[in-house]
Amino acid sequence: MIYPKIPLAQTVVQLCKAKNIKHIIISPGSRSAPLTIGFTNDTFFKCYSIVDERCAAFFALGIAQQIKAPTALVCTSGSALLNYYPAVSEAFYSDIPLVVLSADRPKHLIGIGDGQTINQKNVYKNHILYSANLKLDLKDGKNIPGHEELPIMKNLENKLERFLGLQKGIQEYNEHEINNAIDFAKFQNGPVHINVPFDEPLYETVDKPTVHAKAVSYFKKNSGVEPSVLKACYEDWIAASKKMILVGVNNPNEVNLSVLEELAKDESVVVFTETTSNLHNKSFFPSIDQIIAPLSSKEQKALQPEIIVTFGGLIVSKKIKALLRTYKPQQHWHIDEKKANDTFFCLSKHIEANPNDFFESFLPLINQYTKTDYRPVWEKVKQKRLELHEQYLKKIPFSDFLAFNTILKQIPNNSILQVGNSSAIRYTQLFSLHKTIEVYCNRGTSGIDGSTSTAVGCAVANDKPTTFITGDLSFFYDSNALWNNYIPNSFRIIVVNNQGGGIFRILPGHKNTENFSTYFETHHQLTAEHLCKMFNFEYMTASDENTLNNALSGFFGASDAPKLLEVFTPKQLNDEILLDYFEFIR
């Protein structure tokens, strides 16, 4: 077996292996050669070569999202690791474990005008769980601190002992930092950065490792919910007649659904779920904007809960955030082992526990339900909205709204749906999906920049077929995501092309002006056809309801290449149809 000669590279590779990091996404580079040699010559690792570092990072994020374990990124020095930053920030806010391994130059080559060199130390400091800045291995005594004194040492044995002692200290420091960083990624669920300095020569190899790094863990398991916390929650809960549970981004099958179903039997409780919550029950309230958007001020006030309980990731619906910021609950409890966002400016309890652990401890304390008309009233509203929703679909022309309705009904059961940001996820929120469809979206930072790459990573890491629905700007922005040799033939992309940033037509502004078209909507006439030809995707188009249904009829069938369906919608109508929808269902 081949190993990099540099001990530090051996140490990094050994500890990644010991801590079961299997997926290594490598972007080409010279300074990172010792790591590339180490990872690619060990069959334990599954290595991927992705040239564009921004795409590579989101690809790694998509894999980590699916396997629920860290993936590692390897890049050379300089601006390469800055291209990881969008995905690092997404991982930070979405609690997805990434391990960034950036090669660096030795300290004496930084700040002297050397090529491909930036200040890499703590470069992600505002969006990282842990930064490990490793120390350079000693080499022939040349970079020993105080080496200028070595020539005057008369005793060669003393010189050797000092060299070996310093190298041992460096090795122990590096092992501690690498162990700690990887554990933060694994147990705190988020990105970490390990900056690895290498001196030349970089490509030398050996047949046997010269170091044997030891894997150590410094993390302890959470001990559960304190009885005093449960008692305080119970007393507040039974005294309240209006309680709301709001679930944000949540991994499929992560929450014990029976617990929420039991809570939902209480007439004083309404459970609002977003599409990204991956929770389904007929007593829950999905499609939040469908309920919230048409409400009068009086109705919004009537929906105001005394207690709101939140868990999961960030909330898509701006309307529920606006309502709860205007009509603040008396209490806001957030359940999360790691953090609590004061989203509604009334956070009163951060319950540091897994939601399952909390509810399973909390529910047995409640021996009676509160009799109110809180949920029954809103169930009637929900039913009326659904009836009007169906009526509206029958009266509107082809548009984004109708396209999403048609597409979402055709997504195969027992598959994965990745959704792009901006309009795509907001339209998706207005429709129901089959409970076997797993939904994902990059809602940590809600950017359009890496959605396609994330979906590709997801498709690679999962045996289930993956469909990605996105808008045109997001797709073209991340088109390098298709520059990828690992995309399975079962992968499907649906691009809703409304010739620009259609969501800006929905927001307040001066529409139908040259300024708006150029700088906000960014009107274009691009299509995905030539990209598909270049990257070997089957390409299909639709521009009305009939052609869309015809295209979808065979779109999800087996094929010898991944497929892309581009759906063209009328940009001048889309915003009017969506805004009229909320008026119609009022």
Q: Does residue 363 share a domain with residue 418?
A: no
Q: Does residue 553 share a domain with residue 406?
A: yes
Gap between the Cα atoms of 532 and 279, Å rounded:
35
Tell me the CA end-to-end span of the chain in Å, nearest whole number.
69
Distances (CA, A) of 101 to 16, 23, 84, 201, 538: 11, 13, 11, 19, 35
Tokens of 146: 């105080």
Q: Does residue 161 share a domain with residue 41?
A: yes
pLDDT band at 311 (very low <50, low <70, confident <90, very high): very high
Specify the residue for token string 């469908």.
290
The pLDDT, as a whole number, for residue 218 is 79
Q: Does residue 75 share a domain with residue 14?
A: yes
pLDDT tops 60 at residue 379: yes
Tokens of 437: 């469809």
Contact assessment for residue 134 and residue 196, using Cβ atoms and an 8 Å cutoff:
yes
pLDDT tens digits, 326-338? 999 999 999 999 9
What whole-number percentage of the chain has pLDDT above 70?
92
Gap between the Cα atoms of 230 and 238, Å rounded:
12
In a domain, 294, yes or no: yes
pLDDT band at 370 (very low <50, low <70, confident <90, very high): confident
Gap between the Cα atoms of 586 and 381, Å rounded:
10
pLDDT tops 50 at residue 146: no
Torsion of CA 506, 510, 512, 513, to 10 degrees: -150
What pTM was computed for the model?
0.92
Q: Does residue 351 share a domain with residue 425?
A: no
The single-letter DSSP state of residue 478 is T
Q: Does residue 252 share a domain with residue 165?
A: no
DSSP characters over 522-561:
------SHHHHHHHT-EEEEE-SHHHHHHHHHHHTS--SS
Q: Does residue 193 share a domain with residue 233?
A: no
Of 457, 481, 478, which is closest to residue 537 (Cα–Cα)? 481
What SS3 state is found at 485?
Answer: coil
Average pLDDT, the chain: 91
The pLDDT, as a whole number, for residue 265 is 84
Q: Which domain covers residue 561, as residue numbers?
A: 396-578
Mean pLDDT of 227-240: 93
The pLDDT, as a whole number, for residue 368 is 77
pLDDT tens digits, 530-584? 999 999 999 999 999 999 999 999 999 999 999 999 999 998 899 899 999 999 9
The pLDDT, as a whole number, for residue 138 is 87
pLDDT tens digits, 336-369? 999 999 999 999 999 999 999 999 999 888 877 8
Domain count, the chain: 3
pLDDT tops 80 at residue 509: no
pLDDT band at 259 (very low <50, low <70, confident <90, very high): confident
Gap between the Cα atoms of 102 and 160, Å rounded:
31
SS3 content of the chain, % helix, strand, coil (to 5): 45, 15, 40
Of 533, 550, 531, 554, which is closest to residue 542 (Cα–Cα)? 550
Distances (CA, A) of 371 to 236, 239, 268, 368, 416: 16, 12, 7, 9, 39
The pLDDT, as a whole number, for residue 459 is 98
In a domain, 213, yes or no: no
pLDDT band at 470 (very low <50, low <70, confident <90, very high): very high
pLDDT tens digits, 54-75? 999 999 999 999 999 999 999 9
Q: Does residue 292 share a domain with residue 196?
A: no
CATH code: domain of residue 99: 3.40.50.970
- For residue 128, the Cα-to-chain-centroid distance in whole angstroms is 14
Gap between the Cα atoms of 283 and 279, Å rounded:
11
pLDDT tens digits, 174-221? 999 999 999 999 999 999 999 999 999 999 999 999 999 999 987 877
pLDDT band at 524 (very low <50, low <70, confident <90, very high): confident
The pLDDT, as a whole number, for residue 285 is 94
Mean pLDDT of 224-235: 91
Identity of residue 1: M
Distances (CA, A) of 140 to 206, 341, 532: 17, 52, 53
Beta pairing class for 492-497 and 563-568: parallel
Of 277, 282, 250, which is closest to residue 264 (Cα–Cα)? 282
Of 206, 205, 204, 202, which is closest to residue 30 (Cα–Cα)? 202
What SS3 state is found at 193?
Answer: strand
Q: Does residue 405 share a domain with residue 364?
A: no
The pLDDT, as a whole number, for residue 165 is 72
Gap between the Cα atoms of 221 and 377, Å rounded:
43
Structural domain ending residue among the three candidates 151, 171, 204 = 204
Q: Exposed (0-12), middle (13-18) or buried (19+): which is 39, by Cβ within 10 Å?
A: buried
The pLDDT, as a whole number, for residue 141 is 45
